[in-house]
Amino acid sequence: MPHDGIMVAAGSRPGNPLARILVELGAVPAWLDGLEGATLGEALIQVREVVDRTESLFAGGLRRFDTSGEYAADGAIGIVPWLRWKCRLSAGAAAERVGIARQLDHLPKTEEAFARGELSYQHVAVMARTAEHVGAAAVRKAEASLLKAAETMDPGQFVGVAKNFEHRVDAAGALAETNRAYERRYLHIGDPVDGLVRLDGLLDAEGGATVRTALNPFMKPGKADDRTAGQRLADALLELCKQRPASKNGDGAGPRPQLIIRATVETLAGIPGAPAGELEGGSTVPAETVQRLACDSAISRIIAKGELDFEITRASRSIPPATRRALAARDHHCVAQSCDRQPSWCDGHHRQFWTNGGPTALPNLVLLCRPHHRMVHEGGFQLRPAADGRWILIRPVAAHARSA
Ligand SMILES: [Zn+2]
Ligand SMILES: [Zn+2]
């Protein structure tokens, strides 16, 4: 139970308005349940106001409690550990509230606006952080104009104004902060766990903007695209990595970064009981993935595992640039119905797989974008010609049905 000695003592004091507020809060859910539409919207705005004004009260009390050092009576070594322990805040959330409490002492206009409910907690957090960076005295000189900006902007936009202000009063400090941020950059690509690789990292603002700008062109949802925004972003990253450098005419005929896969002939042929394919770094992929990657070997190089090196080398083929250009000229885009992804985003799919004797020649090839190519190989969808010259993807009837 979070109710320790102090809280019980405060709560049992006669005339405690917080106790009355808590009783009233108990009646709110039933009241909210009865609201709809615009009335519900208004109520939600009021809920935020209550939260913000409560944060303002918290900041005022926290400042006195911090100054008094009373937290030590509970055995806490500092105000932040006390807040984590007694108020169940994360270290970051606790430190932010302590920063606000301390800075508000020097920012009277901000404190008043916060208490009146004119300023949200997040806006106040931006003000306090700015004061920490450039000193409360500098912020106090511009306090009125900053508060005016805060009135009309959401906290994210307001951060931009605050950063601009910091740069004006302390360009060297702003540069140092940018450099500190840059030093924190990293990207981590995890090892596969359950078939998934976790990416995480931090980029400085410029790096983040560069990646976003580069990914944007690949983010557009296609017709009847049911991917989530997160899935589209992940696909966009892969599209970007698979782009052929200097592909002038966009037909995808140029060289691309190659993925090296070790596989046996049995795996390529999809013979039951064949081992999985191995990617560089040791992770494994199913036979269907090996077949898809081998289908347009411009994106991959299959290296034989075992004694059948010669056979794979003999069988392995890439789509010659001239054939690839003819394929792009004939199909224009992914041939799946309702798909219009351009040739540079497509693989050349062998309708009859080459280990089964399908030739790498125009009549046996169709352009499929990466998601549709994947549906055919790993998803087991069948390709059936449609009346309009496009192809329909037929969902597999049985889970083990596979097309090569
Ligand atoms: Zn294919
Ligand atoms: Zn497609």
Q: According to the model, what pLDDT value does residue 267 have? A: 82
Q: Which ligand is nearest to the CA of 391?
A: 2
State the residue range of the domain holding 207.
Answer: 199-220+227-242
Give the Cα separation of 360 and 256 in Å (integer): 19
Pair (268, 372) in one structural domain: yes
Pair (40, 178) in one structural domain: yes
Q: According to the model, what pLDDT value does residue 82 have? A: 95
Query: Does the reported pTM lie above 0.75?
Result: no
Q: Which ligand is nearest to the CA of 224?
A: 2
Pair (128, 175) in one structural domain: yes
Q: Is residue 192 part of a domain?
A: no
Pair (279, 236) in one structural domain: no
**Domain tally, the chain:** 3
Q: Which of helix, strand or coil describes residue 241?
A: helix
Pairing of strands 277-279, 259-263: antiparallel
Pair (231, 168) in one structural domain: no
Pair (384, 270) in one structural domain: yes
- How far is the centre of ligand 1, averaged over its atoms, from the C-alpha of 139 (Å)? 62
Give the Cα separation of 12 and 288 in Å (integer): 69
- How far is the centre of ligand 2, averaged over its atoms, from the C-alpha of 224 (Å)? 11
Pair (233, 135) in one structural domain: no
Residue 349 Ramachandran class (φ > 0 left, ψ -120 to 50 alpha, else beta): beta
Q: Is residue 285 part of a domain?
A: yes
Pair (163, 209) in one structural domain: no
Pair (215, 297) in one structural domain: no
Give the Cα separation of 210 and 230 in Å (integer): 18
Q: Is residue 42 part of a domain?
A: yes
- How far is the centre of ligand 1, averaged over its atoms, from the C-alpha of 116 (Å)? 65
Give the Cα separation of 89 and 104 in Å (integer): 20
Q: Which ligand is nearest to the CA of 381?
A: 1
- How far is the centre of ligand 2, averaged over its atoms, from the C-alpha of 375 (Å)? 10
- How far is the centre of ligand 1, averaged over its atoms, from the C-alpha of 370 (Å)? 10
Q: According to the model, what pLDDT value does residue 177 have? A: 82
Pair (101, 216) in one structural domain: no
- How far is the centre of ligand 1, averaged over its atoms, from the C-alpha of 267 (Å)? 15
Task: Give ion ligand 2 contacts, CB < 5 A.
Answer: 334, 336, 339, 341, 369, 372
Q: Which ligand is nearest to the CA of 346?
A: 2
- How far is the centre of ligand 2, averaged over its atoms, from the C-alpha of 236 (Å)? 14
Pair (40, 172) in one structural domain: yes
Pair (210, 291) in one structural domain: no
User: Which H or E run includes 99?
Assistant: helix 91-104
Provide the terminal-to-terminal Cα distance of the chain, rounded to the nearest Å.
61
Distance of CA 217 to the CA centre of its chain: 17
Q: Is residue 318 part of a domain?
A: yes
Q: According to the model, what pLDDT value does residue 403 have? A: 44
Which DSSP letter does residue 75 get?
T
The mean pLDDT values, 10 residues at a time, for the chain of 404 residues are 47 78 94 94 95 96 95 91 95 96 96 95 97 94 95 91 88 81 90 89 85 86 84 92 63 63 81 80 80 76 63 61 91 90 88 82 91 89 89 79 43
Q: Which ligand is nearest to the CA of 349?
A: 1
Q: Is residue 177 part of a domain?
A: yes
- How far is the centre of ligand 1, averaged over its atoms, from the C-alpha of 166 (Å)? 55
Block residue for tokens 């003592």: 9
Q: Is residue 5 part of a domain?
A: no
Q: Is residue 126 part of a domain?
A: yes
Q: Is residue 189 part of a domain?
A: no
